[in-house]
Amino acid sequence: MINQYTFCNLKTEGIAAMKARVDQDPKGRKTVHDACDTPCAIERGMRVIGGKWTGSILWHLKDGPVRFNDLARMIGGASKKMITERLRQLQAQGLVTRQVMDTAPVSVQYEITEFGRTALGFLEELRLWSESLPAELIPAQEARRSTGRA
């Protein structure tokens, strides 16, 4: 009978791994201890860099500051709206900085912060892993149907 599991915890004090468990009382009812009180670290991390395009954006900034439209150009498939949205989010989280250059016409530069760079390691790993994936199992990026508006 399976009644003992380990899974992710938020407290990293003892690091190693506090073990979350599913226990069974005499009556057979189960309770979880130290479950993912909050969404797991995994989930929480995903909320930060797992947004659509978020990873790509961050990734594109790794080689230096990039201007808005260039960024949009690089990430083919993402609308300006999305780029803006995600950039704002990343900015609010301190992963990138936004700097308006005093030129005409205006130009805005986005740059990854030191903090943002700490995420690149993981992204690199993800990239390597992804590239080893058989193409068939990648869920096709479906084209949304047009809104029908002129």
Residues of this chain that bind its own copies (CB under 8 A)? 2, 5-8, 10, 12, 15, 19-20, 22, 30, 32, 35-48, 50, 52-53, 55-56, 59-60, 63-67, 70, 73-77, 92-94, 109, 118-119, 121-123, 125-127, 129-133, 135, 137-139, 141
Site membership for DNA, residue 105 (CB under 7 A): yes
Return the number of the residue (11 or 149) whose C-beta is nearest its own copies: 11
Taking alpha carbons only, the member of 49, 23, 26, 45 closest to residue 34 is: 23
Residue 79 engages DNA in binding (rule: CB under 7 A): yes
Q: Does 5 bind DNA (CB under 7 A)?
A: no
Q: Considering CB under 7 A, how many residues would be counted as binding DNA?
A: 32
Separation of alpha carbons 56 and 123, rounded Å: 9
26 preceded by cis ω (within 30°)?
no
Q: Which of its own copies, DNA, none has residue 149 at its interface (CB below 5 to 8 Å by kind)? A: DNA
Rule CB under 7 A: say whether 68 interacts with DNA: yes
Taking alpha carbons only, the member of 55, 47, 35, 29 closest to residue 130 is: 55
Site of interaction with DNA (CB under 7 A): 30, 51-52, 67-70, 77-82, 84-85, 87-88, 98, 105-108, 110, 142-150
